[in-house]
Amino acid sequence: MERIRSANIVLTGIVIAFGVTFFSLTVHAGKADSALLFVVLPTALAAALTLTPGRSTHGTVFRLTTVGLLLAAVALHEGAICVVLAAPLVYGIAHGVTALCRMFQNRGKIIPVLLPIPLLLAGVEGVNPEWRVDPDQSVQVSRVVAAAPADVAARLAAGPQPVATRSLPLRLLGVPTPGHVHGTGLTIGDRWMFGYHGSSHGPGGQIVTEVRAATDHEITFAVIEDTSITGRWVRMRDATISWQPTGTGTEVTLRIDYRRGLDPSWYFGPLQDGFLHAGADHFLDMLALR
What is the predicted pLDDT for the residue at 11? 84
Q: Is the pLDDT of residue 18 over 80?
A: yes
Q: Is the pLDDT of residue 186 over 90?
A: yes
What is the predicted pLDDT for the residue at 1? 40
Cα–Cα distance measured from residue 282 to residue 141, given in angstroms and rounded to the nearest whole number: 10
Q: How many residues are listed for the chain in this entry?
A: 290
Q: Collect all residues with Cβ–Cβ distance below 8 Å to 82 and sequence separation of at least 6.
A: 76, 233, 262
The stretch 51-61 carries a mean pLDDT of 79
The larger pLDDT score, comparing residue 58 to residue 31, is at 58
The model's pLDDT over 68-81, given as tens digits with 9 standing for 90+, comes to 888 888 887 656 77
Which of left, alpha, beta for 108 (phi over 0: left; psi -120 to 50: alpha)?
left
The larger pLDDT score, comparing residue 261 to residue 30, is at 261
Share the mean pLDDT of the chain: 83
pLDDT band (50, 70, 90) for residue 277:
very high
CATH numbers and ranges of domains, the chain: 6-122 (no CATH), 136-286 (3.30.530.20)
Q: Is the pLDDT of residue 152 over 60?
A: yes
What is the predicted pLDDT for the residue at 176? 86
What is the predicted pLDDT for the residue at 50? 86
Cα–Cα distance measured from residue 267 to residue 96, given in angstroms and rounded to the nearest whole number: 16
The model's pLDDT over 22-54, given as tens digits with 9 standing for 90+, comes to 888 777 766 666 666 678 888 888 888 888 876
In this predicted structure, which of 70-74, 131-135, 200-204, 229-233 has the lowest mean pLDDT?
200-204
Q: How many CB atoms lie within 10 A of CB 39?
A: 26
First to last CA, the chain: 58
Cα–Cα distance measured from residue 209 to residue 123, given in angstroms and rounded to the nearest whole number: 34
Total-model pTM: 0.72
3-state secondary structure 122-133: HHCECCECCCCC
Cα–Cα distance measured from residue 33 to residue 117, given in angstroms and rounded to the nearest whole number: 43
Q: How many CB atoms lie within 10 A of CB 280?
A: 19
The stretch 70-93 carries a mean pLDDT of 79
The model's pLDDT over 187-197, given as tens digits with 9 standing for 90+, comes to 999 999 999 98
The model's pLDDT over 222-252, given as tens digits with 9 standing for 90+, comes to 999 999 988 888 999 999 999 999 988 999 9
The larger pLDDT score, comparing residue 120 to residue 173, is at 173
In DSSP notation, 197-239 reads --BTTB---EEEEEEEEE-SSEEEEEEEEE-SGGGGTEEEEEE
Q: Is the dihedral of CA 191, 232, 83, 80 positive or negative?
A: negative
The stretch 78-94 carries a mean pLDDT of 78
What is the predicted pLDDT for the residue at 222? 96
